[in-house]
Structure 1
Amino acid sequence: MADAQNILRNSAPFADFDDDAISRLSEASELRSFAAGERIVSRGTHSTAVGIVVVGELALELKTELQHLEVERPTVGAVFGEFGLLTGDPPVADIHAKVDSQVLMVPHTAILQEIAKNPLATRGFATLMASRYASRRDNADFQDLAQHARRVRDESGTTLPVLVVNLGSSSLKYALFQHQKSLLCGLVERIGSNEAQITQCRDDQKETKQLRRITHEQALDQMFAWLIHPELGALDRIEDIGAVGHRVVHGGNRFTHSVPINDEVLDELKRCALLAPLHNPINVLGIEYCRKKVSPATPMVAVFDTAFHMTMPEQAYTYALPSKLAQSEQLRRYGFHGISHKYVSQAATQFLEKPPGTLKIVSCHLGNGSSVAAINHGRSVDTSMGMTPLEGLVMGTRSGDVDPGLILHLMRLGYTEERLDELLNRQSGLLGLSGLASDMRSVEKAADAGHEGAMLAIAAYCYRVRKYIGAYAAAMGGIDVLIFTGGIGENAINVRQRIASDMGFIGIHIDTERNRTPSADISVALDISTPESTVRVLIVPTDEEAMIARETLEALERTGLHDILSARKDRQIPIGISVRHVHLQTDHIRPLFGRDELTPLRELSQKGNWACDEMVDLVGPRGTIERVRVLGPARENTQVEISRTDEFKLGIDAPIRASGDVANSPGLTLRGPAGSIDIEEGVICAYRHIHMDPEDALAFGLRDRDIVRVHIPGERSVIFGDVLVRVYPGFSLEMHLDTDEANAAEVHPGMTCTIESIQQRT
C-alpha cells in the first residue's frame, strides 16, 4: 500500500523504522473512512492499533454522567492509540470524527514485531508518550475524568475462536468463545455409564441426545462432531478453532500461571498426577486426544485451578511439618477453585467500578465442592482448600477440616487407606451429617420437614463458612467485598442469609428482600447489602469457561512476547538494593522536623528523587528501628517501606504492595527531632520491581504493571518471579530488591540481571 508507506514515513513516531519495516507495517495497516460524528474509539474497549489521521479532524473526549471535557482535536498527521502499546489499558477517552475523516490504523502487534527487530525504533514513540504524559499529568480535569473512565473495561480481546475443554472423571464441559462472548456451550454427563447424554446450547436452541456407555475419548469425539453440527454448531470445520484452553486441576509448584502446552509441559503435568491422581490423568488424556483432532498449528493452553493461589505468602501455604520432608514431597497448601475465584473477583471489581487490584475480597465458592478465598488487592493470600480439595469447608460429600489425630484413630480401628479415602471424600460432608443426600436442595427440603440430621448439616455448613469469612477478614486487616458464587452460593437463599446474618461487627449487613432475587435475574452481579453495610455483599454468577478462554488468550499473548524478550537476553539491567526508608507527605514534615522543607543530601538513581538529610525512628507495637532515611520529594501520602525482617522487629504484618498503594495497610509512630506523629496506614513491603522509561519498555515489549521473571547470574544463579514492571518517563532502567531478598540471593551492588519471561499481564 504505497499511500500507507508515505503516511508512515511522514509520521514522527515511525521516523526510526527502516524501509523494510515501513513496507511490512503498511501491508498490515488499514486505511479506514469515518463519517462526521462516527465513533472511532470507545472508552473501555480493547485497544489494538495506533491511528494516524490522514484526512479530516477528530475529537478526543472524556465523559461521565456529570462532566464532559474535550481534551484534544487531532488533525492531519496526529497520532493516537500509542499508550495501548505501553500499558495495555483500554482507552479512557472516546474518539470520533468531527468531520468526514480518514485514519490509517496500524496494529499494535505489527509495531511490536518491528520493535523486536530494531530497538532503536522505539525512540519516536517514547518521545510522543513522554510529552503526552507530561501534558495530561498536569491537567487536573483530565486526571479526574480519566480516573472515572479507567473503571470501565471491556475484555473483548482477539478474534480467535477459543474452544474451552473441561474434562472430568465423569463429565465433559465445553464452550466456544469469540471476543470473550460464548458462541455455544455443551455438557456430556455420566461418562462411563449407560445413562450418558450430551446437551448443547446455542442462542435459544438446546438439544439433548442420549448416548450409550462411552469413554472419555468418545465423549470428546461427540463434542467435536457437535461443534460443526449443521444446526447447533458454530463452526464450518474443526480447523477453524483458533486455540484450545484446557482446565487442569493441579499445576504443582512449577505452574504459577497458564502456559502454552508443549511436550515438556505435558510431561510435567503427568508428574503432577501424584498430587491429583483422580484429576490430572484425565486432564492429560483430554489434551493428548485434542492434539490429534485439531490442526497441529492450533495452540493449546493449560489453565490451572491452583495457579491463582500461588501468590499465597509462605506463612499461609506452609504446613507445620519438618521442612526437609515438606520440600522433598511438595507437602504444602495449593488451593483450588482458583479459576472461579479469579473470575468472580474480577467481575466484582468491574461491577463496583473500582480500579483493578484495589479491594479486599472474601470469595465464597459454594457448591458440591466448596472453598473460601482471601483476595487482597487482586492477589490470593489464603484459601480454605489445602494440598488437596479435602481441606476446609463442609462440602457435599467431603468432610473438610478434621483433626489429623482422628485419621490416626481410625487407622488403629482398622481403616485402610482406601476406606479412609472413601469415608472422607465420598461419605462425609452434607451426605454424612444428614444421612440423606449430598445436594443442598434435598438437605434443605428435609430440614424444612424437621429432619434433625439435615438441620445439623446446614448449621455445620454455614458455621464453617462464617468462620472462614471472619478469619480472612482478620488476615487481610479488613474486608471490602463478600462474594457468593457456585451452585449453592448463587441459588441457596437461606444459606446466604444464614451465613451473612449477625456479621455487622465487621460491616456486613444483608438486605433480606434483595437476597431473595432469583439467580436467573442476575447478569454480572447483584448487590444484596443494605445501605449501611460497609462491606458490599455480592452474588456473582461464576463462569469458569469464560475465565479459561480469557486465560488462554493472555497466555498466547505472553508467548508472542517471547521473541522480543529473547532478543533482549543480553540487555543487562542494573540491580539496586533498597533499604528501609520513608516518604513523607507535606503536612507531616513540620511536626517531625520543625520546618516545612526537606533537605536534599544526595541524588538517587531515579531522576528527580533524592535521599534527605532528615531521618526518623520507626516505633512499632513490638520494637523500634532508629535513624531511617527520609527520601524526597514529598508525596501525596506518607509511606514507610520495610523488609520482612523489619516487620518482625516492629511487630507489624505489612502487606506486599506496589509503591503508593497504602490503603488499609498498617500504621505506626514516626519519631523525629521536633516531635512524633501517628500514621494510621502507610507501612508496606514493596514489590520487587523494575523501573523503566517508555523507550526501554517498548524495546522489551513490556507494559506498565506487567509481572516478569528475572534471572540474576552468579555463584548462586537465581530466578526471581513476581517482579513488577513500572514504566514512566524519566525512569532509569533498574531493578530494586529489598535487603532481605538481596541477602538471601547473595546479591550486592554492581550486579545486573536479565528478564527471563513474562508471567502476567494485567
Structure 2
Amino acid sequence: MQILVVNCGSSSVKAEVIDVTSGKRIAVMSVDRISEPEPKVKFSGSTEVLTCQGSGHENALAFAFPLLLEKIDKSQLKGVGHRIVHGGKIFDEPVVITEEVEKQIEGLFSLAPLHNPINLLGVRIAKKYFPDVPHVAVFDTAYHSTIPPRAKNYALPKNLIQKHDIERYGFHGTSHQYVAEQAAKFLETDLHDLRLISCHLGNGASVCAIEYGQSVETSMGMTPLEGLVMGTRSGDIDAGVVTYLMEKEGKTWQEISDMLNKESGLKGIAGTNDMRDLEERAAEGDIDAQLAIDMFVHRLRKYIGAYAAVMGGVDAIIFTAGIGENSASLRYKVVQKLGFLRAILDEQKNKMLKFVGVDWVEDISASNSKCKILVVKTDEQLSIAEQTAKVIRESKFKGQPPRSIPIAVSARHVHLTQESVEILFGKGYQLTVQKPLSQPGQFACNEMVTLVGPKNKIEKVRILGPTRPKDQVEISRTDEFFLGIDAPIRESGHTEGSPGLLLIGPAGQLELKEGVICAWRHIHMHPDDAEYFGVKDKDIVEVRVENQERSLTFGNVLIRVSDKFKLEMHIDTDEANAAELNQGAEGALIHTGAGGLLTKKKVQ
C-alpha cells in the first residue's frame, strides 16, 4: 500500500510517497522558502532545484503537487497522511479527515497557533490534487493521551483548567512511538515489558517516559515551549519572568511569545541554534557556546533522572533526531553522570557510530551496562504512513464480522526433490496424490518413507507434494528426542546448519546431510488477509486460542504472505496437544505493539 505523507510547515513542506509494506520511498519532495517570492522545489534522486513563481502555500503546492504526480503511479496511491501538531482533548488517535474533523482542528488553533492553521491549510490544498483517496490526520499529541492525571494536570485554578482545556498534551508523539517500537524490536523484547526514556533531540526537543508501552510523562506541555532547552525555544522558565519582562521592558504578550519561541534557547544564549556550530565554537574556547551546550545537557540529564524515578527504573535510554543521532560528544556528556542508573557508555562505539544501510538501531552501551543506551534513527514519515494505512484499512473493513484464524495440525512429514524421489522410489517415479491439502496446489502423497536417527526410527512418514527444490523433514519436539537429534526451530526452506538423518524408501535409501527442522509455527495468508489483519510477510504476532478445556496464547507466530496461500495457521502435534485442540479449532490474532502497530522480533 502506497501512502503520501504531507508535513506542512510555515516555511517548508515535506512530502513522501511511501510503500508501507516495505518502507521504500517511491518519491520524496521538499518545498522550501514558501514565504519568499520564489519557493524552491527539490525531489530525491535529482540535483535540480526548481523555482516556483509566487510566494505562499497555494502557489508553491499548485506548482509542486503536479510534479509529484508525474513521478508516481497514481493508481497505487491509497491515501494521504497529514501531520497535525495539536489534537487537543478531541483527538487521541488518527482519524479520516472529514469536514467535521476540519472544523474541530480549526477549533484547536488557539492551542497551536504557529502549527495547526498551516497544517490544516496543507490538508485543504492536498485534497484538491488528491481528491480520490482518503486523507488521514495523525496528531503529534495523540501518543501522549495515556499520561496519567498526576502528570497531565497543572496546579492552576480548576475552573480555568476546565474552561480552557489547559493540560500537558506533549508533542513529537509519532517519533517517540516509532523509536520505542524500534528499540523493542532490537532488544527482542515485548514493548509492554520495557521502561524506556526516549530523547528526541533536534531544533525542537523533548523527552518521553514510556512505561510498558505507554507514554506516562513528557517534557513538552500544553504547547511545544515547555521542557528542554531547544534551538530557539527557552524550555522551562519561571512564569514570573514573563510578567517581570512585560512590566520592565513594556513588552506585549505577543512580543514575549515570539521571544520565548524564536529568540531564546541555544540561539538566545550563544547566537545560533545549530549544535554543530556550537560544538566547533566550544572546542575553540567560546564561553557562550560552552554555556549553551552545558545548559542543554544539564536540562536533558535532569529530565532523564526524573523520568527514571517516575518509572522506578529504566531499561533503555534512546537518543534520536538530528542531534541525538549525530552528536557523539553530546551523548557522551549526557550519559557521563548516569552511572547511578547503571547506564554505562562504550566510548568507542559512541564515537564511531554511523548509520549504515538498514541498521536503524545502534547499541552504544558498554558490556557491563544494565541500562541499554541506544541510538535509533527516527522515521516520523514512515510512522505517519503506517498509522494512515491502519486507519484506511480499518475503515475499509468496518462492519465486517471479525475474522478468526483456522488452525491446522501438521503431523511429521517430508518434502523431497524429484532427484530424491527417484533414489527412494525408482528412476522416473512420480509422486501420486492421496488427498489435496488446504493450501492450493499442495497434496498428501500415497508414498511414505522411514526416518532413521541415531537412537530410533519412525516408519510410515508421509511425503507431501509437489516436489521442491530442497529436501526437508519436519518433525515435532517429541520426534526429535525419540530419533536422538537436535533439530532447530526454523521457517520452512531455511535448513542451513540443521541436522540430517537417513531416509529409507522401497527402492533405496538417502542420507540427508541437513534438512531436519521443527517448523516455526506460522500463519499462511493471502495478501487480502494480510491487509485485513494489518500485517506483512515476516511479521511476528501472537494467536489466542479459547476453548473449554484449556486457553492458550501462541507467541512468536510467523506470518507468511503469498497470493498462493489460503488463511490457515500451522502448528505441530506437540503444540496442538498442549492446547488440547480439536479438529476445526480457530484462534484470534493479537497485535503486540503500542498503537496497534506490531512489535516484531528479528527474523533470521
TM-score if structure 1 supplies the norm length? 0.52
Q: Per the alignment, do residues 247 and 477 of structure 1 end up closer, same or farther by CA in structure 2, a change over 3 Å counting? A: same
Of 250, 254, 261, 2:90 maps to 254
Please name the residue that 1:101 is paired with: none
> What displacement does 1:446 show?
1.3
Please name the residue that 1:188 is paired with: 31
| Matched ranges for 1:522-561 at <5 A | 523-561=359-397
Does 2:290 align with 1:455? yes
Of 370, 375, 378, 2:210 maps to 375
Q: Classify the secondary structure of the residue corresponding to 1:472.
A: helix
Contact 1:257 1:304 in 2 (8 A): yes
* Residues 453-508 of structure 1: per-residue CA shift (max 9 Å, x gap): 11000000000000000000110111011111111111111111101112111011
> What displacement does 1:194 show?
4.0
Please name the residue that 1:626 is paired with: none
> What displacement does 1:387 show?
0.3
* Residues 246-284 of structure 1: per-residue CA shift (max 9 Å, x gap): 000000101001111111111101101111111111111
Whole-angstrom distance in 1 between the partners of 2:215 and 2:66: 39
Please name the residue that 1:353 is paired with: 188
Please name the residue that 1:173 is paired with: 14
The code of the aligned residue for 1:558 comes to E
Please name the residue that 2:56 is paired with: 215
> What displacement does 1:564 show?
3.8
Does 2:142 align with 1:307? yes
| Matched ranges for 1:115-194 at <5 A | 160-178=1-19, 179=21, 180-194=23-37
Contact 2:94 2:137 in 1 (8 A): yes
Q: Per the alignment, do residues 213 and 508 of structure 1 end up closer, same or farther by CA in structure 2, a change over 3 Å counting? A: farther
Of 59, 69, 76, 1:228 maps to 69
Of 263, 268, 280, 2:104 maps to 268
Whole-angstrom distance in 1 between the partners of 2:159 and 2:547: 46
Please name the residue that 1:480 is paired with: 315
Whole-angstrom distance in 2 between the partners of 1:504 and 1:294: 52
Please name the residue that 1:410 is paired with: 245
Of 182, 199, 207, 2:42 maps to 199
Whole-angstrom distance in 1 between the partners of 2:34 and 2:156: 39
Q: Classify the secondary structure of the residue corresponding to 1:563.
A: coil
Does 2:346 align with 1:511? yes
* Residues 155-182 of structure 1: per-residue CA shift (max 9 Å, x gap): xxxxx21100000000101100112322
Contact 1:239 1:294 in 2 (8 A): no
> What displacement does 1:760 show?
5.0
Does 2:261 align with 1:425? yes
> What displacement does 1:222 show?
3.4
The code of the aligned residue for 1:347 comes to Q
Whole-angstrom distance in 2 between the partners of 1:507 and 1:419: 44
Q: Per the alignment, do residues 731 and 446 of structure 1 end up closer, same or farther by CA in structure 2, a change over 3 Å counting? A: farther
* Residues 700-744 of structure 1: per-residue CA shift (max 9 Å, x gap): x9999xxxxxxxxxxxxxxxxxxxx99651489xxxxxxxxxxxx
Count of matched residue positions in the alignment of Structure 1 and Structure 2: 414
> What displacement does 1:289 show?
1.4
The code of the aligned residue for 2:147 comes to M
Contact 2:180 2:191 in 1 (8 A): no
The code of the aligned residue for 1:729 comes to E
Contact 2:52 2:60 in 1 (8 A): no
Contact 1:398 1:426 in 2 (8 A): yes
Whole-angstrom distance in 2 between the partners of 1:169 and 1:565: 44
Q: Per the alignment, do residues 546 and 397 of structure 1 end up closer, same or farther by CA in structure 2, a change over 3 Å counting? A: same
Query: Deviation above 4 Å: which 4+ runs of structure 1?
Result: 701-704, 725-728
Q: Per the alignment, do residues 483 and 422 of structure 1 end up closer, same or farther by CA in structure 2, a change over 3 Å counting? A: same
Q: Classify the secondary structure of the residue corresponding to 1:386.
A: coil
Whole-angstrom distance in 1 between the partners of 2:291 and 2:184: 35
Whole-angstrom distance in 2 between the partners of 1:294 and 1:174: 13
Contact 1:372 1:468 in 2 (8 A): yes
Whole-angstrom distance in 1 between the partners of 2:300 and 2:548: 46
The code of the aligned residue for 1:219 comes to A
* Residues 671-703 of structure 1: per-residue CA shift (max 9 Å, x gap): xxxxxxxxxxxxxxxxxxxxxxxxxxxxxx999
Contact 1:170 1:190 in 2 (8 A): yes
* Residues 400-422 of structure 1: per-residue CA shift (max 9 Å, x gap): 00011111211221221121012
Contact 2:170 2:218 in 1 (8 A): yes
* Residues 201-235 of structure 1: per-residue CA shift (max 9 Å, x gap): 14xx5543244443212332333223234xxx232
Please name the residue that 2:301 is paired with: 466
Whole-angstrom distance in 2 between the partners of 1:562 and 1:267: 24
* Residues 20-58 of structure 1: per-residue CA shift (max 9 Å, x gap): xxxxxxxxxxxxxxxxxxxxxxxxxxxxxxxxxxxxxxx
> What displacement does 1:324 show?
1.8
Contact 2:53 2:59 in 1 (8 A): no
- Once superposed, what is the RMSD of the aligned Cα atoms? 2.4
TM-score if structure 2 supplies the norm length? 0.65
Contact 1:162 1:242 in 2 (8 A): yes
Contact 2:29 2:68 in 1 (8 A): no
Whole-angstrom distance in 2 between the partners of 1:731 and 1:485: 48
Whole-angstrom distance in 2 between the partners of 1:272 and 1:449: 46
Contact 1:239 1:295 in 2 (8 A): no
Does 2:282 align with 1:439? no
Please name the residue that 1:364 is paired with: 199
Q: Per the alignment, do residues 242 and 428 of structure 1 end up closer, same or farther by CA in structure 2, a change over 3 Å counting? A: same
Whole-angstrom distance in 1 between the partners of 2:533 and 2:392: 16
Whole-angstrom distance in 1 between the partners of 2:343 and 2:129: 50
Contact 1:482 1:536 in 2 (8 A): yes
The code of the aligned residue for 2:392 comes to L
* Residues 424-451 of structure 1: per-residue CA shift (max 9 Å, x gap): 11111001111x2111111111111111
Does 2:227 align with 1:384? no
Whole-angstrom distance in 1 between the partners of 2:235 and 2:396: 42
Whole-angstrom distance in 1 between the partners of 2:282 and 2:548: 64
> What displacement does 1:240 show?
4.3
Whole-angstrom distance in 2 between the partners of 1:529 and 1:521: 18
> What displacement does 1:521 show?
2.8
Contact 1:351 1:524 in 2 (8 A): no
The code of the aligned residue for 2:237 comes to V
Structure 2 residue runs without a partner (length 5+): 403-530, 535-541, 550-593, 598-604
Whole-angstrom distance in 2 between the partners of 1:395 and 1:730: 55
Name the % identity.
42
Whole-angstrom distance in 2 between the partners of 1:478 and 1:702: 38
Whole-angstrom distance in 2 between the partners of 1:171 and 1:401: 27
Contact 2:320 2:378 in 1 (8 A): yes
The code of the aligned residue for 1:269 comes to I
Contact 1:172 1:219 in 2 (8 A): no
* Residues 613-635 of structure 1: per-residue CA shift (max 9 Å, x gap): xxxxxxxxxxxxxxxxxxxxxxx
Q: Per the alignment, do residues 288 and 533 of structure 1 end up closer, same or farther by CA in structure 2, a change over 3 Å counting? A: same
